[in-house]
Structure 1
Amino acid sequence: MSNLYEVALVHQGKSLIWTGKGVEKSQIEANYPSEDQPFSFRMTNGWTGIMKINRFFSYKHEPNFKQFLKNSFESLKDANISNLILDLRGNEGGFEKLGIELYSYLAQDKFEYYDFVKTSKNQKTPYPTQTSKVFRLLNSFSKEKNGKVHFTKAPGLKTYTPHKNRFDGNLIVLLDGQSFSVTTEFAARVQADGPTW
Structure 2
Amino acid sequence: MNRHGLSLLILTILCTSVCAQRMLPFSAVPDMVDEVYETIRDHHPIGYESAGRERLLAARTQVQGFMSSARFADSIALWDFTRLVSPLQEVTDCGHLILEPHFDSLMNVRVRENVFPLSLMRTDDGRFILLKGLRTTTDSLLPTTAIAAINGEELGPMIDNMAYFAGLNDVGNVSATQAAIARGMGLQYQRHYGLQASLTLTLTDGSRREILPTHRPWVDPKKKVTPIAETITFRYAEDGQTGILDINSFADRKFRDGNYYKFVKQVFDTLKQSGTRQLIIDLRDNTGGSSGRINYLYSFLSEGKFRFADRIILTGPAKALPGESAKDLKRRRSGAVSKHGRKVQRVLSKAMKPRKANLRFDGEVVVLINEMTFSASGMFARFVQGSGRGKLLGVTAGASAGTTFGGSNRKKRLFIGPNEEFELKVNNIALQLPYAIEGNVTPDIIVPITEDALREGRDEQLERALVLVEGKGLR
Q: TM-score, normalised by structure 1?
A: 0.70
- Secondary structure (helix, strand or coil) at the match of 1:112 reads coil
One of 183, 192, 207 as aligned partner of 1:28: 183
Pair 1:59-2:247 in alignment: no
Contact 1:58/1:64 (<8 A) preserved: no
Mapped partners of 2:259, 2:170: distance in 1: 37
The unaligned stretches of length 5 or more in structure 2 are: 1-154, 186-227, 319-327, 391-474
The unaligned stretches of length 5 or more in structure 1 are: 11-16, 124-139
Mapped partners of 1:86, 1:20: distance in 2: 20
One of 78, 89, 101 as aligned partner of 2:273: 78
Same amino acid, percent of matched pairs:
28
Contact 2:179/2:371 (<8 A) preserved: no
Contact 1:90/1:177 (<8 A) preserved: yes
Corresponding residue pairs, total: 167
**CA-CA distance at 1:87 after TM superposition:** 0.2
Structure showing greater radius of gyration is 2
Aligned to 2:379: 185
RMSD: 3.4
Q: TM-score, normalised by structure 2?
A: 0.31
Contact 1:73/1:105 (<8 A) preserved: yes
Q: Identify the structure with the greater strand proportion.
A: 1
**CA-CA distance at 1:187 after TM superposition:** 1.4
Mapped partners of 2:366, 2:383: distance in 1: 14
Mean Cα deviation higher: 48-57 or 67-76: 48-57
Mapped partners of 2:288, 2:180: distance in 1: 21
The residue type paired with residue 149 of structure 1 is G
Aligned to 2:308: 113
Q: Identify if the C-alpha distance between structure 1 residues 29 and 144 changes in structure 2 by more than 3 Å, giving closer, same or farther.
A: same
The residue type paired with residue 28 of structure 1 is R
The residue type paired with residue 83 of structure 1 is Q
The residue type paired with residue 2 of structure 1 is G
**CA-CA distance at 1:58 after TM superposition:** 2.6
Q: Identify if the C-alpha distance between structure 1 residues 28 and 149 changes in structure 2 by more than 3 Å, giving closer, same or farther.
A: same
Pair 1:163-2:350 in alignment: no
- Secondary structure (helix, strand or coil) at the match of 1:188 reads helix
Q: Identify if the C-alpha distance between structure 1 residues 49 and 36 changes in structure 2 by more than 3 Å, giving closer, same or farther.
A: closer
Aligned to 1:90: 285
Mean Cα deviation higher: 113-122 or 88-97: 113-122
Q: Identify if the C-alpha distance between structure 1 residues 144 and 9 changes in structure 2 by more than 3 Å, giving closer, same or farther.
A: closer
Structure number with the bigger relative contact order (C-alpha 8 A, sep ≥ 6) is 1
Contact 1:53/1:91 (<8 A) preserved: yes
Describe how 1:97-108 pairs up with structure 2 within 5 A: 97-108=292-303
Aligned to 1:144: 332
Deviations 1:83-121 (A, max 9, x none): 110000111112111011111111111222221123443
Contact 1:2/1:22 (<8 A) preserved: no
